[in-house]
Structure 1
Amino acid sequence: MQALPDQRLPSGFSSPAQLRFYTVGDIHGRLDLLERVDAKIDDDLKRRPCARSVRVFLGDYVDRGPHSREVIEYLIGLEGKHDTVFVLGNHETCLTTFIDIPATLPTWLQVGGQETLISYGIHPPRNLSEADQSRLAAELAQALPASHLNFFRRLRPCFAFEGLFFVHAGVRPGTPLADQSLADLCWIRDDFLRHDGLFEKLVIHGHTPVRTPEIRPNRINIDTGAYATGQLTCLWIEGDRMGFL
């Protein structure tokens, strides 16, 4: 991805000065890219110290890439060292729903769940029976460390601060941000992406892959398809300025 210059946040939105957000897009099991981006954040803080920084992750930590388990372990480790916010993605909902409702396994496998199961040492057969689905759900529940399950269960549906609204997929136009449904926060696409009007806050999101970060007056999309492209995007915001690492 070609480097983009630092610039003002769109439409006059801002966050408090001396508080810098580092926001990371959809990781999808790419531990190598996560480690690289985390090192870039550390380097940026050394070059440009600030009073406080917060690392915000926009969900979809698992599936598709080869190292979902390792990604979760790495993110849990970050909690003990930095101010962090972890937002819920639709792929995390697929994982936890499968544990509770094993019949959802075929749907999860269609969107990359097999790679996550394999990362936890579970290998689903080609032709799944109902008994297989229940058995695999029980195996995953057993294989998940308690810290991982707790991580999944406490992910935030969204995170709002001053003029910023961090979310995985987007929001429903015409619905107040405080009243958004979990389904829309995790899954919405067309109705949100086609909306040109401003929201109450600037929406920072992922979920829909784009070649380069998409900067609109009402939203910024930083999902650059890391699992397939090798490009994991990190957006920083401080005051009324923004840029990319």
Structure 2
Amino acid sequence: MAEPGIHFLDARGPDGVRLYAIGDVHGRLDLLAAMHQRINSEIEREAPADWRVIHLGDYVDRGPDSKGVIDFLIEARQRDPRHLVLAGNHDIGFLDFLKTPDPEGLFIRFGGIQTAQSYGVEIIEGTSAWFGKAEAAMRKGHQALVEAVPQSHIDFLRSLPFSVSFGDFFFCHAGIRPGIPLESQTPQDLIWIRDVFHNHSGLYPKIVVHGHTPVPGAEVMANRVNVDTLAWQSGMLSALVVDGTDKRILEMAIREA
């Protein structure tokens, strides 16, 4: 017998714990820092009994300061473990590239060039990099990046869980596979899934809060909430705030990178 689902309007967070779930950052340290400042101000002013700030993945690629974003998140988590940081597909793709450079992989094709630049490294882009002198240049850039990325950054990225749950809410980067229990979801689906998740009209056991697929404004559905508002390009970072039965969207906009 299928587990009964829950509608967004009926969902509630755990008693006494305010939740903030922040969408894809993609190298926009300015937006992440501004969002944290806004959240900190709210917490200081309103003094909830407890809180969690949940980051939904994709900290690197495309935007100008992936290195700075990782430094910021490492410091935030060390300062207060109530800052929770989940893995996104781009974060895993960064680790994959450091291990094995692939000219057709996610990192090179979708914004990793900017990530490398944030570490002071230039990498040749495109399939042509694997022929003759260009291949040697690609491998040289890869080696330079391996040497430039601190071990603390690699350890941090390797430490990231794929999901977390509080109250009636389940948090992950991309979404879940319908019909599979939340505890049995695969890492691949949690950081990559799209259509079969988005197109499912039924309710899930919990409200799925995710990013991964850009939308013009935070998308609140009966069974899920998408807070990926293409921050690296739009200049708007979005978050879902849950406090008991109260739910709202928090937006931070800086139009110029």
Shared fold (TM-score greater than 0.5)?
A: yes
Q: Is the 8 A contact 1:223 1:232 kept in 2?
A: yes
Partner SS state of residue 95, structure 1: helix
The two structures, once aligned, show a CA RMSD in angstroms of: 1.6
Partner SS state of residue 118, structure 1: helix
Partner SS state of residue 202, structure 2: coil
Q: Distance in 2 between matches of 1:66 and 1:195?
A: 35
Comparing 28-37 with 96-105, greater Cα deviation is found at 96-105
Q: Is the 8 A contact 2:218 2:249 kept in 1?
A: no
Matched, 1:64 2:56: no
Deviation at 1:38, TM superposition (A): 0.6
Which residue of the partner structure matches residue 4 of structure 1?
none
Q: Which runs of 5+ in 2 are unaligned?
A: 1-6, 251-257
Comparing 128-137 with 68-77, greater Cα deviation is found at 128-137
Q: Please point out which of 180, 183, 189 is paired with 2:194.
A: 189
Q: Output the amino acid matched with 1:136.
A: G
Q: Output the amino acid matched with 1:123.
A: E
Q: Output the amino acid matched with 1:229.
A: S
Matched, 1:175 2:176: no
The alignment's TM-score, normalised by the length of structure 2, stands at: 0.87
Q: Distance in 2 between matches of 1:52 and 1:106?
A: 41
Deviation at 1:96, TM superposition (A): 0.6
Q: Output the amino acid matched with 1:175.
A: I
Q: Is the 8 A contact 1:206 1:221 kept in 2?
A: yes
Q: Is the 8 A contact 1:59 1:168 kept in 2?
A: yes
Q: Please point out which of 144, 149, 160 is paired with 1:155.
A: 160
The size of the alignment, in residue pairs, is: 237
**Counterpart mapping for 1:123-134 below 5 A:** 123-126=122-125, 127-129=128-130, 130-134=135-139
The alignment's TM-score, normalised by the length of structure 1, stands at: 0.91
Deviation at 1:106, TM superposition (A): 5.0
Matched, 1:210 2:215: yes
Q: Is the 8 A contact 1:236 1:244 kept in 2?
A: yes
Q: Which runs of 5+ in 1 are unaligned?
A: 1-8
Q: Distance in 2 between matches of 1:79 and 1:103?
A: 31
Question: Per the alignment, do residues 177 and 104 of structure 1 end up closer, same or farther by CA in structure 2, a change over 3 Å counting?
Answer: farther
CA deviation string 1:25-76 (max 9, x = no partner): 0000001111110110011112211111111000000000000001110111
Q: Is the 8 A contact 1:69 1:119 kept in 2?
A: yes
Question: Per the alignment, do residues 150 and 216 of structure 1 end up closer, same or farther by CA in structure 2, a change over 3 Å counting?
Answer: same
Q: Is the 8 A contact 1:61 1:72 kept in 2?
A: yes
Question: Per the alignment, do residues 106 and 13 of structure 1 end up closer, same or farther by CA in structure 2, a change over 3 Å counting?
Answer: closer
Q: Distance in 1 between matches of 2:158 and 2:139?
A: 20
Deviation at 1:133, TM superposition (A): 4.2
Q: Output the amino acid matched with 2:212.
A: H
Write out the 4+ residue segments of structure 1 that deviate beyond 6 Å after TM superposition: none
**Counterpart mapping for 1:65-104 below 5 A:** 65-82=63-80, 83-104=82-103
**Counterpart mapping for 1:125-144 below 5 A:** 125-126=124-125, 127-129=128-130, 130-144=135-149
Deviation at 1:169, TM superposition (A): 0.4
Q: Distance in 1 between matches of 2:188 and 2:141?
A: 25
Q: Output the amino acid matched with 2:144.
A: E
Deviation at 1:230, TM superposition (A): 0.5
**Counterpart mapping for 1:8-19 below 5 A:** 10-19=8-17
Deviation at 1:161, TM superposition (A): 2.2
Deviation at 1:191, TM superposition (A): 0.5
Deviation at 1:97, TM superposition (A): 0.8
Partner SS state of residue 34, structure 2: helix
Q: Is the 8 A contact 1:105 1:133 kept in 2?
A: no
Deviation at 1:140, TM superposition (A): 2.1
Deviation at 1:122, TM superposition (A): 1.1
Q: Is the 8 A contact 1:97 1:104 kept in 2?
A: no
Q: Output the amino acid matched with 1:163.
A: D
Deviation at 1:23, TM superposition (A): 1.0
